C-alpha cells in the first residue's frame, strides 16, 4: 500500500509539467467586487500554470508589482487593451495591478501552489495600498481569502 502510494506520487510528479493548466482572468469595468476589477480577483493555480489576462473592457492592463511576487519570479507588464499571458514558475503569492486604475485598487492576487511567502507579501503591501484612493480595503479582503 505504501509503495503503491509512493509510486503514484512519483507518477503524478513526473506528469505534472504535461498537465500545466491555463486560466483566464478578465479585466473589467464592473464586476462582483465593484468597479475596475480583475475577475476572478483571487486565483489559485498550480506552479507552472499559465494565466491569461484578457481585456474584456477597454483601458486596462495587468502588471506585476515590484516586491510583491515570490523570490526570483519573473515580472510582467501587459500593454493596455491587450491580452497578456503569464506562466507562474515560482511557488507563492503574486499581487498585480492595472496601472491606470491602481488608484481605484484595481489589483488581483495569484497563488501558485502554496502561499509560502504570504507573510512577506502582507508586510510589503504598504506602498501599493498607499496609492489607493478608493476601495482601500479591497486588497486586504483578497489577501484574507488566501489560505
Ligand atoms: Cu484597469
Does the residue 10 lie in any domain?
A: no
Does the residue 5 lie in any domain?
A: no
Does the residue 8 lie in any domain?
A: no
Does the residue 98 lie in any domain?
A: yes
What's the gap in Å between 18 CA and the centre of ligand 1?
33
| HEC profile of 65-128 | CCCCCCCCCCCCECCCCCCEEEECCCCEEEEEECHHHHHHCCEEEEEECCCCCHHHHHHHCHHH
Which pLDDT belongs to residue 13? 56
Mean pLDDT of the chain: 93
Does the residue 1 lie in any domain?
A: no
In this predicted model, which residue has the larger pLDDT, 141 or 16?
Answer: 141
What's the gap in Å between 128 CA and the centre of ligand 1?
15
- Of 71, 33, 26, 25, the C-alpha closest to 49 is 25
Query: In this predicted model, what pLDDT tens digit does every residue of 51-90 receive, in sequence order?
Result: 999 999 999 999 999 999 999 999 999 999 999 999 999 9
What's the gap in Å between 27 CA and the centre of ligand 1?
7
The total number of structural domains in the chain stands at: 1
Which grid coordinates belong to 101? 486604475
In this predicted model, which residue has the larger pLDDT, 53 or 7?
Answer: 53
Does the residue 64 lie in any domain?
A: yes
What's the gap in Å between 80 CA and the centre of ligand 1?
9
What's the gap in Å between 61 CA and the centre of ligand 1?
6
Which pLDDT belongs to residue 45? 98
Domain span at 24: 20-144
Does the residue 84 lie in any domain?
A: yes
In this predicted model, which residue has the larger pLDDT, 7 or 133?
Answer: 133
Which grid coordinates belong to 47? 506552479
Position 3 pLDDT exceeds 70: no
Report the pLDDT averaged over residues 129-133: 98
Q: Quote the CA–CA distance of 131 and 26 in Å, as a whole number.
A: 22
Question: Per-residue confidence at 19, pLDDT binned at 50, 70, 90?
Answer: confident
Does the residue 127 lie in any domain?
A: yes
What's the gap in Å between 59 CA and the centre of ligand 1?
6
User: What is the phi/psi pair of residue 54, to 5°?
Assistant: -115, 140
In this predicted model, which residue has the larger pLDDT, 83 or 16?
Answer: 83
Q: Which residues of 115-142 are buried (b: 16+ CB within 10 A; e: fewer)?
A: bebbeebbeebeebeeebeebeebbeeb
CATH number, position 101:
2.60.40.420
Amino acid at each position: 500500500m505504501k509503495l503503491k502510494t509512493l509510486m503514484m506520487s512519483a507518477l503524478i510528479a513526473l506528469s505534472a509539467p504535461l498537465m500545466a493548466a491555463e486560466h483566464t482572468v478578465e479585466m473589467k469595468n464592473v464586476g462582483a467586487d465593484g468597479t475596475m476589477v480583475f475577475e476572478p480577483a483571487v486565483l489559485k493555480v498550480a506552479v507552472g500554470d499559465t494565466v491569461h489576462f484578457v481585456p474584456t473592457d477597454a483601458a486596462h492592463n495587468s502588471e506585476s508589482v515590484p516586491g510583491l511576487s515570490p523570490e526570483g519570479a519573473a515580472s510582467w507588464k501587459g500593454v493596455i487593451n491587450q491580452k497578456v499571458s503569464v506562466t507562474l514558475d515560482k511557488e507563492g503569492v503574486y499581487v498585480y495591478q492595472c496601472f491606470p486604475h491602481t488608484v481605484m485598487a484595481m489589483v488581483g492576487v495569484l497563488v501558485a501552489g502554496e502561499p509560502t511567502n504570504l507573510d512577506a507579501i502582507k508586510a510589503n503591501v504598504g506602498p501599493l495600498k498607499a496609492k489607493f484612493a478608493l476601495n482601500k480595503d479591497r486588497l486586504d479582503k483578497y489577501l484574507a481569502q488566501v489560505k
